[in-house]
Structure 1
Amino acid sequence: MGNVRVGMVGYKFMGKAHSNAYRALPMFFPQAKAKPVMKAICGRNAEALEQARSQFGWEDAVTDWRELIARDDIDLIDINAPSDAHKEIAIEAAKAGKHLFCEKPLALSLADSREMLAAAEEAGVKHMVGFSYRFAPAVKLAKKLIEEGRIGRIYHFRATFLQDWIMDPEFPLVWRLQKEIAGSGSHGDLGAHLIDMARYLAGEIKDVVGVSETFIKERPIPQTMTGLSAKGDKDGPKGEVTVDDATLFLARFENGALGSFEATRFAAGHRSTNAFEINGSLGSIKFDFERMNELQVYFTSDAEDVQGFRRVLATDAPHAYMDAWWPAGHPIGYEHTFTHEMLELMEAIAEDRQPVPNFYDGVKCQEVLEAVERSVEERRWVSLAELQ
């Protein structure tokens, strides 16, 4: 087993998720062809960074990502800092010959994401983008059923990602609500996952038409923020919200299927409902990440007196990854998808191949994101061919 020495930029929500995955991987997947070694973590706040280093289990901490990239004892740069930092760090890391893992969305714009892909390809390094929901065993089962033709020709793909964490008008103006840092709001944060899932399961998207809205135009300037939480003075100064609160769009796939997508942070009662349904000529599939160990499956070939959706519990060894975890029937959670994701990355590096999903998938997702944004602005259907 070889070692992959990791340097990570970012130490909050995703930094904790990635750190946990690196630590869990060798324990539960000892057969992996490469082992991550947590060499150094990077962030701007030295005090908070040291706390994260100690808590997460990293050997070292640095406050300058350029110093991290320049180190000879680093093979892989993991980027989970805010979106506006992705491009510069990734390009410089690629030039230094480092493998790359970058959280989604890949960049602030399609042009930037294409530059990142070109830099990685020119440098000949491995590159991966963080679409972790692909790695739920129930989603892998959905992929298997589709590839085997068991639900037939796909007619519909409908997906929703619903949250409610910023519904309070006094919730502070965190970085995810600022376009210059985040790129977009619910569209790029939540919708990106739906788009990637659609491409993964149903195929490439041909054209789109969308609508979006920002319900709360101004919010208090934050005094502190960590992950998805923040504190601010409701009577203090306010700043402009420059991203969408909700974006919905329709799509036509290249294979003739139709799609509907809804991403919002204003769906009261939905903490994080990430769900899709696929209807085919021979059956249907339903998935909701809030019940991530289950896949709802319907086959038209079932006898009429027992037709209906069946609940498949994807926790037994025949399902993807499950032989590494717990006895049959014991569920896994959100954090496990990151471990599976990092397993793919380690295996790809060891096997000298590109992991999947990679920066190419990040670019394809960004194409759809920008096509929807153009559609919203120009109030018309937009073909992805226009962005080529």
Structure 2
Amino acid sequence: MNTSGSESERPTLGVGMVGYAFMGAAHSQGWRTAGRVFDLPLDPVMTAVCGRDPDAVRAAARRLGWAAAETDWRALIAREDVQLVDICTPGGSHAEIAVAALEAGKHVLCEKPLANTVEEAEAMAQAARRARAHGRLAMVGFNYRRVPALALARRMVQDGGLGALRHVRVAYLQDWLTDPGFPLTWRLRREEAGSGALGDLGSHAVDIAQYLAGEPLAGVSALTETFVRERPLPARDAAGLSGTGGAGRGEVTVDDAALFTGRFASGALASFEATRFATGRKNALTVELNGERGSLAFDLERLNELAFHDHTGPAVSAGFRRILVTEPEHPYLEGWWPPGHGLGYEHTFVHQARDLLCAVAAGEQPRPSFDDGLQVQRVLAAVEESAAGNSVYVPVPA
């Protein structure tokens, strides 16, 4: 942390990011914007971005707003002007980069899912605990916690608005893999992605369910399926990056869809669906919670809205009512636009950057922590174990 400058200036925090594709662009948006919207205790400085191809990473640095470019993540970690390392790479590299960064005395933000295996996630969580003793903090990037409507839902559940929870339902549906001619990219290879729709989408579903419920899943019973088991091998450009076509075919080694039920520690029931084969669904995340006193429902395609049913009211006027989550009293909305002017997907990364910077400045553990990410990883592993055993119920280790 750099505290140089006049007393009226806020201290700065140098950020280095590894990876610059879809998630790198989204995280860059958050780092660029957070200090322009919120009154932060630290100013993030976009110091350097890292990628393997020199020309591509320099172009990304210019496009995304980074001051410098590196081609080796170890060199990025070694920079004295980088105090926080943001990891936006495929899951297979998360553990190595995160552990090295924490051991080098850096704060860490790591994209979800935390790792590809429970063993990797455990190593990351252990490294984060050791680093915490020395004032270095780690957070996993489950950005949907930062949707104002879902943050409001969490507040309402905490305040007892639903009473005892009975059911949680989460579905995350996409359709971008329905074409069997879509190439065999890294997301379809277990060694790089860990799992398919389960890790990519199901990790979000599990995290948001546990976040809203305020308790962990105790066990699951699952089915998974791979609908297209072979795909064309991708072409490779000069940088070794996947293109859109190539010669030959390769095996898909991850799931295309996952369907599972679960039980929370309190006894509340849960159901989950994650697929990349739901034709017509582009990024459809829906959540519903039913409690003894009422229900909440959310749809990412209407992300500025939350539906609430108060079951304690008179039956003659009962039903779901729409809450437009744009008031300055709603979570994260104090820095944005007048009521009625909605936010979008990219704002979740601005809120994520804000929350992490505030935690670092206060020396407080940001959430979700690496331990939270590990717990999600244990749920995903239990889902795979259950599916392999024909839907046998598998407890989730505490």
TM class, shorter-chain normalised? Answer: over 0.9
Which runs of 5 or more structure 1 residues have no equivalent in the other structure? Answer: none
* Distance across 2 between alignment mates of 1:87 and 1:257: 33
Cα contact 1:287–1:294 (8 A) shared by 2:
yes
Does residue 4 of structure 1 match 2:18? no
The partner residue of 2:28 within 16, 19, 26 is: 19
The partner residue of 1:160 within 171, 175, 178 is: 171
The partner residue of 2:278 within 267, 274, 299 is: 267
Does residue 107 of structure 1 match 2:119? no
Q: Which is worse superposed, 155-164 or 370-379?
A: 370-379
* 1:68-94 residue CA offsets vs partner (Å, 9 max, x unmatched): 111111100000011111010011111
Please report the RMSD computed on the Cα atoms of aligned residues, expressed in angstroms.
1.4
* 1:208-228 residue CA offsets vs partner (Å, 9 max, x unmatched): 1100000000111112599xx
* Distance across 2 between alignment mates of 1:230 and 1:143: 41
Cα contact 1:117–1:359 (8 A) shared by 2:
yes
The aligned amino acid for 1:232 is G
Cα contact 1:39–1:74 (8 A) shared by 2:
yes
Superposed, which structure 2 residues align to 1:319-334 within 5 Å? 319-334=330-345
* Distance across 1 between alignment mates of 2:335 and 2:131: 34
* Distance across 2 between alignment mates of 1:352 and 1:95: 18
Cα contact 1:161–1:194 (8 A) shared by 2:
yes
Does residue 231 of structure 1 match 2:239? no
Does residue 252 of structure 1 match 2:260? no
Cα contact 2:131–2:137 (8 A) shared by 1:
no
Cα contact 1:171–1:230 (8 A) shared by 2:
no
Q: Secondary structure of the residue that 1:297 maps to in structure 2?
A: strand
The partner residue of 2:367 within 336, 356, 364 is: 356
Match of 1:381 in 2: 393
* Distance across 1 between alignment mates of 2:235 and 2:12: 41
The alpha carbon displacement at 1:367 in A equals 0.7
* Distance across 2 between alignment mates of 1:76 and 1:158: 35
The aligned amino acid for 2:54 is A
Percent of paired sites with the same residue: 48
Give the TM-score of the pair, scaled to structure 2: 0.94
Cα contact 1:106–1:113 (8 A) shared by 2:
yes
Which runs of 5 or more structure 2 residues have no equivalent in the other structure? Answer: 1-9
Does residue 310 of structure 1 match 2:318? no
The aligned amino acid for 1:374 is E
The alpha carbon displacement at 1:119 in A equals 1.1
Does residue 78 of structure 1 match 2:91? no
Change (3 A) 1:162 1:224: farther
The aligned amino acid for 1:77 is V
* Distance across 1 between alignment mates of 2:396 and 2:23: 30
Paired positions, count: 382
Does residue 96 of structure 1 match 2:108? no
Match of 1:56 in 2: 64
Match of 1:212 in 2: 224
The alpha carbon displacement at 1:230 in A equals 5.0
* Distance across 1 between alignment mates of 2:125 and 2:194: 18
* Distance across 2 between alignment mates of 1:306 and 1:45: 61
Match of 1:120 in 2: 128
Cα contact 2:219–2:263 (8 A) shared by 1:
yes
The aligned amino acid for 1:13 is F
The alpha carbon displacement at 1:241 in A equals 0.4
Q: Secondary structure of the residue that 1:223 maps to in structure 2?
A: coil
The alpha carbon displacement at 1:316 in A equals 1.3
Q: Secondary structure of the residue that 2:373 maps to in structure 1?
A: helix
Cα contact 2:309–2:319 (8 A) shared by 1:
yes
Match of 2:146 in 1: 135
* Distance across 2 between alignment mates of 1:123 and 1:360: 13
The aligned amino acid for 2:382 is A
Give the TM-score of the pair, scaled to structure 1: 0.96
* Distance across 2 between alignment mates of 1:4 and 1:360: 24
The alpha carbon displacement at 1:199 in A equals 1.1
Cα contact 2:173–2:276 (8 A) shared by 1:
yes
Cα contact 1:2–1:350 (8 A) shared by 2:
no
Does residue 281 of structure 1 match 2:292? yes
Match of 2:6 in 1: none
Q: Which is worse superposed, 302-311 or 188-197?
A: 302-311
Q: Which runs of 4+ in 1 moved over 3 A?
A: none
* Distance across 1 between alignment mates of 2:122 and 2:11: 31
* 1:129-172 residue CA offsets vs partner (Å, 9 max, x unmatched): 01000001100110111011111110000110000001000001
Cα contact 2:49–2:68 (8 A) shared by 1:
yes
